[in-house]
Structure 1
Amino acid sequence: MNLISVIVPCWNEEETIPIYYEHMCPVMDAIDADCELIFVDDGSQDATLSEMKKLSEKDARCQYLSFSRNFGKEAAIYAGLCKAKGDYVVVMDVDLQDPPELLPKMYEMVKSGICDSVATRRSDRTGEPVIRSFLSENFYKFINKISKTQLVYGARDYRIMCRKMVDAVLQMSEYNRFSKGIFSWVGFRTEWLEYENVERSAGETKWSLRQLFKYSLEGITGFSVAPLSVAAVLGVVFCGVSFLMILFLVIRTLIWGDPVAGWPSMVCVILFMGGIQLLCMGIMGEYLSKTYLESKHRPIYIVRSSSYEKE
């Protein structure tokens, strides 16, 4: 019988873990395959780890990893993929915004061989702040214009993958990770399931606008070099403009003399050009910092405790 490994990243989710388990039990019992739940504690500061240990002692299907500190959701997903033994691997959130009820259908689709992966996307963003929905929609539009790796609007991390696709993802062991881009970049045939937005089962979202902005930069710099091209184009354009301005000033001086120009306009030009230079340096610095972090070859995560230690 096939084994399905379900990776569940958690950060300060002590309230949602018992609720999630209650919803997953009937799904795992009904599905025509063996299942294992791999909970990954991303350095939580509440009783998340205690809840994981309780489930591990109660149900042999539940395993857990606990990080030494908060490494981020991307590291938690990667850690789960490394530990997953299943013929098929699922990534889903613990807050039930990824409906467990879809899993049997997803499994049947990928098992039939019509695709290598079944991914989900939200058909609406009901209950989400307007500004967050607006920024998210425009992020997808922007990155799809500047990157060869196309992302589906509303895509969730919730998906099921065959073993070959999981192995391909594990080959991409970069330190700076953006899973939505990685899943798309490795290819394989993917079918999409739509569902209406679901509210969290408990607690509050851990993603602030600042964190989402940093995450979007990770995606842009990880899967597109267009910003570097923009910086180069700006440099060429302003070099050309400055050359024309010099030529204009030389001709004007030869014909009409050199009247004293107003200093405010000169200050504005200097500030504008300085801002453009700093922008270009910032873009290059962002890419350089990614290269610097990758060159250190630091581990993506560090495990403090794990149910696998008992094996």
Structure 2
Amino acid sequence: MTEPETPAPALSIVVPVYNGAATIGGLVKALRALDIEGGLEIVLAVDGSPDNSLDVCKRLAQEPGAPVIVMSLSRNFGEHNAVMAGLSRARGAFAITMDDDLQNPPEEVKRLFECARDGGYDAVYTYYEEKKHAAWRNIGSRFTNWCADRLIDKPPGLYLSSFRCISAFVRERITASYQGPYPYVDGLVFQVTQNVGRLQVSHLPRAEGRSNYTLRRLIRLWLAMFLNFSVMPLRLATLAGLTFGALGALAAVIVIVEAIISDKPPQGWASLMVAVLVLAGVQLVVLGMIGEYLGRMFLAVNRKPQYLVREVFRRGADGLDVERPKVDTRAAGQPHREPSHGEDEGRAER
């Protein structure tokens, strides 16, 4: 038997969990200790974690305190997909997303929430005086932000952090508007609003283990931003093609003039081969880029799921309640949630 559904809290905290068994307990304990006006809920999206994170999260859901909702995804879909799953379940007037590694101090959650609420922002992004990440990750983050300044409608100079706060207005629209398999949360946020604030927060060294982000995962995330929210890469490819075409035409004119006015045939096999290889390389890059766009369109049309929720766990009157959402065939990856007791009487399922 499920506990009667409580009124929507002021704040939902969404945490994607992957290999977080050693840290998620401390994070939830610290979050539950926060004094949030209007109350809070914690949504843990366990992203096919190979360790025992799911068992730890289920135990946390049974403990007293702020409600914890545990979403067990059917496999590892990626951080942004797990965040979208958690946001689809959140009910708060504001939602904060954060990692499970305790590098963002839980005490900063209240400051971030109050900054968004009192400042009237649709979204607030955090930034750090110093990031406690490896040097190669910091370089990658700077490169991603440089690209984002030019590819998506991001306010100039805004640092894109996974520790962010968004309003219910933004949350509802980004979860409803994008059903594709390659979400990029920041790109979706900036499609909805430009009313965005900034807040400097602390950043701590990782408490346990090492980052789950490999170079491959970072490249995949960068491609989601690079290809999903702008046609500028195609325009750059067109510009590169026009540039090299013009250079080729100019070289052809030079060769013809040289052949006419000179007694010797044009020389330069090596330079010719360099030109051929350069042009062939550009063509292959452009074809690959077009193929990537078409491939993503193909997967979206064929309804590759953004995520699939196997089970949802929450505290009930007699222990831990389990909900097995049905897949809503109207949108790939979005779970169809059965109405709770009383919710189906007098109002439709949302």
CA–CA distance in 2 between the matches of 1:293 and 1:276?
26
User: Partners in 1 of 2:151 and 2:117 — Cα distance?
Assistant: 34
1:179-198 equivalent positions in 2, closer than 5 A: 179-187=185-193, 189-198=195-204
Q: Quote how far apart the aligned CAs of 1:131 are.
A: 2.9
Aligned to 2:99: 93
Q: Distance in 2 between matches of 1:228 and 1:150?
A: 23
Q: 1:307 aligns with which of 313, 322, 326?
A: 313
Query: Counterparts of 2:23 and 2:214 in 1: how far apart (Å)?
Result: 19
Q: Which residue of the partner structure matches residue 283 of structure 1? A: 289
1:145-165 deviation digits (Å, cap 9, x = unpaired): 344434655432222322212
Code of the residue aligned with 2:123 in structure 1: it is: S
Instruction: Quote the sequence identity (%).
Output: 26
TM-score scaled by length of structure 2: 0.81
CA distance in 1, matches of 2:122, 2:210: 33
The alignment's TM-score, normalised by the length of structure 1, stands at 0.90
User: Structure 2 vs 1, CA of residues 112 and 153 (structure 1 numbering), >3 Å: closer, same or farther?
Assistant: closer
Structure 2 CA distance for partners of 1:97 and 1:63, relative to 1, 3 Å: same
Which of 40, 55, 58 is the matching residue for 2:60? 55
* 2-structure distance, mates of 1:216, 1:225: 15
Question: What's the counterpart of residue 27 of structure 2?
Answer: 20
After TM superposition, the structure 1 = structure 2 runs for residues 228-239 of structure 1, keeping only pairs within 5 Å, are 228-239=234-245
Candidates 33, 40, 44, aligned match of 2:45: 40
Match of 2:108 in 1: 102
C-alpha contact (below 8 Å) 1:147/1:226 kept by paired residues: no
Please give the root-mean-square deviation of Cα atoms over the aligned residues, in Å: 2.2
1:10 is aligned to 17
Alpha-carbon distance between aligned partners in 1 of 2:129 and 2:140, rounded to the nearest angstrom: 16
Query: 3-state SS of the aligned residue for 1:77?
Result: helix
- Name which of structure 1's ranges 273-282 and 47-56 shifts more when overlaid on structure 2: 273-282
Instruction: Select which of 225, 230, 236 maps to 2:231.
Output: 225
Distance 1:158 1:135, change over 3 A: closer
How far is 1:262 from its partner? 4.2
Are the equivalent residues in 2 in contact too, given 1:7–1:81 (CA < 8 A)? yes
- In the alignment of these two chains, the number of paired residues is 308
Task: Output the amino acid matched with 2:175.
Answer: L
Change (3 A) 1:151 1:303: farther
With 269-278 and 255-264 compared, the bigger mean Cα shift is at 255-264
Question: Secondary structure, in 3 states, of the residue corresponding to 1:301?
Answer: coil
Whole-Å separation in 1 of the counterparts to 2:62 and 2:153: 46
For the residues of structure 1 that align with 2:147 and 2:194, how far apart are their CA atoms?
24
C-alpha separation in 1, matches of 2:197 and 2:152: 21
- Determine the C-alpha separation between the residues in 2 that align with 1:171 and 1:48: 28
Distance 1:170 1:247, change over 3 A: same
**Partner residue, 2:144:** 139
Q: Specify which structure has the higher proportion of helix.
A: 1
Alpha-carbon distance between aligned partners in 1 of 2:119 and 2:243, rounded to the nearest angstrom: 52
Q: Shift of residue 54 of structure 1?
A: 0.6
Which amino acid is the alignment partner of residue 160 of structure 2? A
Instruction: Please state whether the residue corresponding to 1:156 is helix, strand or coil.
Output: coil
Give the gaps of 5 or more residues in structure 1. Answer: none
In the alignment, the residues of structure 2 paired with residue 56 and residue 15 of structure 1 have an alpha-carbon distance, to the nearest angstrom, of 16
Separation of aligned partners in 2, 1:234 and 1:111: 46
1:213 equivalent in structure 2: 219
**CA distance in 2: counterparts of 1:251 and 1:154, whole angstroms:** 54
Q: How does 1:251-270 map to 2 (within 5 A)?
A: 251-259=257-265, 261-270=267-276
Between the aligned partners of 1:255 and 1:119, the Cα distance in structure 2 is 65
